[in-house]
Chains A and B, each alone.
Chain A
Amino acid sequence: MRNFARHLPHYMALFGLLLAGFAGFIIFSYDKSFQTAVAVATAASYVLWGVVHHFLHKDLHIETVVEYIAVASLGLIILFSLVIRS
């Protein structure tokens, strides 16, 4: 939690982009292609946030980047599979 308080601006930015992604899904609920674009943009922003955050924290490693990509990809596939069936 101490780490969280220390990086509060970083986490605020993260929560902001995730909130924007969620809002985008609601706003563009009438268009699947927009929803797909929002999902891709959010996942890419998440990976980028991870890279920048760890770079500034001076603990950026390839394993970390791979982990963020794996998490983002899984989330993306979940959203894709639902959007195509919705």
Chain B
Amino acid sequence: MSLVKTLIHLFVPHESNNQKAKILHPSSLSILALFLIFAQIAITGLSRVYPTVLGCASSISASDIVRLTNEKRIQSGLSTLSENSILSQAALAKGTDMLNKGYWAHFAPDGTTPWSFFTQFGYKYKYAGENLARDFCSASATVDAWMNSPTHRENVLSSNYKEIGIGVLEGNLAGADTTLVVQFFGNSGGSTATIPIAKAQGADTVATTKPAATVRPTPATIATPTLSPLALVEISPFKTTKDLSMAIVGVLILVLSIDLIVVRRKRIMRIGGRTLAHIAYFGMILAIVLILKAGQII
């Protein structure tokens, strides 16, 4: 069978395929579904064997997050936040705590609050806030996601905060390779804060906390979290899956459209589903594939 005949057999209604493109037969659709499942298994396996080639895609740097956050504040007519190394260390400690204990939340399962990291590193706060993000591929996507969420946006654009600290770290969180971004906001309000008010964005509670005045480790005694360096990767599993999905759905919609035209012109009568309905269904799938983005915030 020549190449042209093969292509016609696969993609155009013809006598050889019982007047329906072979790729639209249920058996072919099942093979495509199986192919997708095996592709996912392969992507997962490769991302574990070659994490620097196919793994957590991350080009996020703390300085980029600070810069973009300040850009958003300037656009809203607010003053910029100054980067505070103690807050950054506290943010890294919070991220390390999440990786070590395997949780993704503002409050740890053992009851550890976000504010305990502030006080643990000796930061006396009048106001404090926390934004969390995971699995984003870039700093701009991370900050954009926060800006699109009313509660996180409130943190980014709050005039209560004067300082910022960012922790970006990579690790395995509850079995999934993850890039975490911890954004701490603070306002020390001088060194004599009495009853600090801590507000966790993304959580429903407003906590009033008394700082642990006795716990004030000096920077020299602070243990640096043991983190793996951020791996610069070439391929994102999410993007690979998205591209593959778009290609498959795109080809199917194209073949279904050809099918619709050919069947109508040749007045072919056959037993089967409605081509227009299939196009509409795959159209919805394509629309969802296009809008889906990697990354979560809380």
Identity of the chain A residue whose Cβ is nearest the Cβ of B27 in the assembled complex: A70
Q: Which residue of the partner chain, among B237, B264, B272, contacts A85 with CB atoms under 8 Å?
A: B237
State whether B276 touches A61 (Cβ < 8 A).
no
Is residue B284 within 8 Å, beta carbon to beta carbon, of the partner chain?
A: yes
Given known contacts A14-B280, A42-B284, A79-B285, is B274 in contact with A50 (CB within 8 Å)?
A: yes
State whether B288 touches A25 (Cβ < 8 A).
yes
State in angstroms the CA–CA spacing of A62 and B14 once bound together. 22
State whether A71 touches B278 (Cβ < 8 A).
yes
Which one of B5-13, B29-37, B86-94, B183-191 is at the interface? Answer: B29-37
Q: Which residues of A are found within 8 Å of B281, using beta-carbon distances? A: 18, 46, 71-72, 75
State in angstroms the CA–CA spacing of A26 and B284 once bound together. 12
**Considering residues B30, B272, B278, B284, which has the most beta carbons from chain A within 10 angstroms of its beta carbon?**
B284
- A35 CB to closest chain B CB, in angstroms? 9
Is residue B4 within 8 Å, beta carbon to beta carbon, of the partner chain?
A: no
State in angstroms the CA–CA spacing of A67 and B296 once bound together. 35
Identity of the chain A residue whose Cβ is nearest the Cβ of B242 in the assembled complex: A82
State whether A82 touches B284 (Cβ < 8 A).
no
Majority secondary structure, B binding face:
helix
State whether A81 touches B36 (Cβ < 8 A).
yes
Is residue A56 within 8 Å, beta carbon to beta carbon, of the partner chain?
A: no
- Interface flags for A46-86 (1: CB within 8 Å of B; 0: not) read 10011001100001010110111111111101110111011
- A67 CB to closest chain B CB, in angstroms? 4
Majority secondary structure, A binding face:
helix
- B104 CB to closest chain A CB, in angstroms? 12
Total contacting residues, chain A, CB less than 8 A: 40
- Interface flags for B13-50 (1: CB within 8 Å of A; 0: not) read 00000000000001001101100110110000000000
Q: Which residues of A are found within 8 Å of B241, using beta-carbon distances? A: 81-82, 85
Q: Count how many pairs of residues, one from A and one from B, have CB atoms less than 8 Å apart in the complex.
A: 108
Is residue B295 within 8 Å, beta carbon to beta carbon, of the partner chain?
A: yes
Given known contacts A46-B281, A64-B271, A82-B289, is B33 in contact with A74 (CB within 8 Å)?
A: yes
State in angstroms the CA–CA spacing of A26 and B271 once bound together. 36
State whether A86 touches B276 (Cβ < 8 A).
no
Is residue A15 within 8 Å, beta carbon to beta carbon, of the partner chain?
A: yes
Q: Which residues of A are found within 8 Å of B278, using beta-carbon distances? A: 71
- Interface flags for B263-298 (1: CB within 8 Å of A; 0: not) read 010000001111011101111110111011111100
State in angstroms the CA–CA spacing of A46 and B33 once bound together. 17
Apart from A86-B238, A86-B296, what are 16 other A-B pairs with CB-CB below 8 Å?
A14-B280, A15-B280, A59-B271, A63-B26, A64-B273, A69-B26, A70-B33, A71-B273, A71-B281, A71-B282, A73-B29, A73-B30, A73-B33, A81-B241, A85-B238, A85-B294
Residues of B within 8 A of A (CB): 26, 29-30, 32-33, 36-37, 39-40, 135, 237-238, 241-242, 245, 248-249, 264, 271-274, 276-278, 280-285, 287-289, 291-296
18 contacts across the A-B interface (CB closer than 8 A): A1-B264, A18-B280, A50-B277, A63-B271, A64-B271, A67-B273, A70-B26, A71-B278, A75-B284, A75-B285, A77-B36, A78-B289, A79-B288, A81-B37, A81-B40, A82-B238, A82-B242, A82-B288
Residues of A within 8 A of B (CB): 1, 4, 11, 14-15, 18-19, 21-22, 25-26, 30, 42, 46, 49-50, 53-54, 59, 61, 63-64, 66-75, 77-79, 81-83, 85-86
